[in-house]
Amino acid sequence: MPFDQALAAFMRYLHLAQGLSRATQQAYQRDLRDFVLRTGGETALTSAAWLTWQEADIRQYLAGLSAEAKPQTLARRLAAIKRLYKFALHQAWLSVHPAQQLQAPKRLKAIPKVLSEQNIDALLAAPDVSTALGLRDRAILELMYATGLRVSEVVSLPIAQVDLAAGLLMVVGKGNKQRIIPLGEWAQDWLSQYLARARPGLLKPGAVLDEVFVSRIGRPMTRQTLWHRIHNLAQQAGLTGTLSPHGLRHAFATHLINHGADLRSVQLLLGHSDLSTTQIYTHVAKARLKQLHQQHHPRG
């Protein structure tokens, strides 16, 4: 099976059987093309040479990559390679998995930088809510901080999955998994105002969109647009450094734990499949407590 044909079949499998997002599929595609190109050259992209490679070939590829890539990148590349060869094994294109015994380098989990509650208040107050776009941006910020939604979940959120009367929304996250999240009074109020006063004016005449949030040209917002809006609003609020939309997700989780929420509940709200992924936020909370102790205790 030539690699280009195998990759196309693998992408269909990831989409239909695994329910992976388009962004994740594209990342797999980039990583696997890089692997084949570096290991076998241009001709390998349209040949079946990849099915003849052994563990030593994959080790050599990863070793060559290690000089320029972080451990996280190496681990992601190896995961993509393993998944492709596992797929090839199930398709009976080969009989031995060449990457089965390879282990990814240990990754040190970086503790995310988290906005303080005062910083969050400043950010939420940054949009000019006297304008339609400002009201939209305030509703987005309130929603993200209240629910911990991922960027992709925000821009693709359908109106049909928001129940303002009950104060709940239903989200379809990674792996096509559904979860129910409470909105909270603040997010519920700002979202109601946006839907009633701003969204109708942002839509083009006669247009009907499923998505909650609309761009200034009357289309669904993109991830890139949302990133730029939050970055600009953070600057307006006087926040230093670069704030990504994921920073609101970090703040949501950490502030919940700081105020006594249990880890399992936070895991469910975030949509993490593994509790270990959520545990990083306990380290953030502990680091914050240590910092406060050092600043304010007479013998800190």
Q: Is 281 one of the catalytic residues?
A: yes
Greatest Cα pair distance in the chain: 70
Q: Is 174 one of the catalytic residues?
A: yes
Amino acid at site 80: A
For residue 24, give every residue at least 6 positions away whose Cβ sits within 8 Å of its Cβ, in sequence order, or none.
14, 174
**C-alpha–C-alpha distance, residues 139 and 124, integer Å:** 9
Q: Is 272 one of the catalytic residues?
A: yes
Partners of 162 in the beta sheet? 169
Q: Which among 77, 136, 249, 255 is annotated as catalytic?
A: 249
87 closest CA partner among 21, 20, 6: 6
Q: Which among 138, 150, 199, 255 is annotated as catalytic?
A: 150
**C-alpha–C-alpha distance, residues 235 and 86, integer Å:** 46
For residue 67, give every residue at least 6 positions away whose Cβ sits within 8 Å of its Cβ, in sequence order, or none.
none
Q: Which among 76, 174, 231, 288 is annotated as catalytic?
A: 174
**What's the Cα-to-Cα distance from 297 to each of 174, 259, 288, 290, rounded to whole Å?**
43, 20, 14, 10
Q: Is 249 one of the catalytic residues?
A: yes
Q: Which among 28, 85, 194, 281 is annotated as catalytic?
A: 281
Neighbours of 98 (CB within 10 A): 22
Active site positions, annotated: 150, 174, 246, 249, 272, 281
